[in-house]
Amino acid sequence: KQEVTQIPAALSVPEGENLVLNCSFTDSAIYNLQWFRQDPGKGLTSLLLIQSSQREQTSGRLNASLDKSSGRSTLYIAASQPGDSATYLCAVCSGNTGKLIFGQGTTLQVKP
């Protein structure tokens, strides 16, 4: 059974810092991995989608990497801003239905 773990559960950094959020999964047979952002009381916003054949994806200040063999993904946020404060969720698709298994999330606070 696929399990997804995110570390740390919470993170507080000063504005401008570069930071890394970690995601690990137990079964390396995945179709894709997706990173989401969730603001309080809101739905999920897709940030990056990495297919199983890819090693990384970039969007603006965000870079996500995928190492299937070790069951790990990282989300790198460059030059963090207070507007980046949110909960970041990692989700893995293990079957051809597109059904996602989510981690518990990392709640990020970027202080001005």
Partner 1 sequence: GAGVSQSPSNKVTEKGKDVELRCDPISGHTALYWYRQSLGQGLEFLIYFQGNSAPDKSGLPSDRFSAERTGGSVSTLTIQRTQQEDSAVYLCASSQNRATGELFFGEGSRLTVL
Q: Which residues bind partner 1 (CB under 8 A)?
A: 31-32, 34, 36, 41-46, 49, 51, 89, 91, 93, 96-105
Return the structure tokens found at 80: 């963090």
Closest C-alpha among 87, 8, 102 to residue 42:
87
Closest C-alpha among 91, 81, 88, 96 to residue 38:
88
Q: 3-state DSSP call for residue 27?
A: coil
Task: Please identify, using beta-carbon distances, which residue of 2 and 63 lies nearer to partner 1.
Answer: 2
Q: 3-state DSSP call for residue 51?
A: strand
CB of 89 to partner 1, least distance (A): 7
CB of 14 to partner 1, least distance (A): 28
Task: Please identify, using beta-carbon distances, which residue of 55 and 99 lies nearer to partner 1.
Answer: 99
Strand 106-111 versus strand 10-14 pairing type = parallel
Task: Please identify, using beta-carbon distances, which residue of 52 and 63 lies nearer to partner 1.
Answer: 52
CB of 48 to partner 1, least distance (A): 9
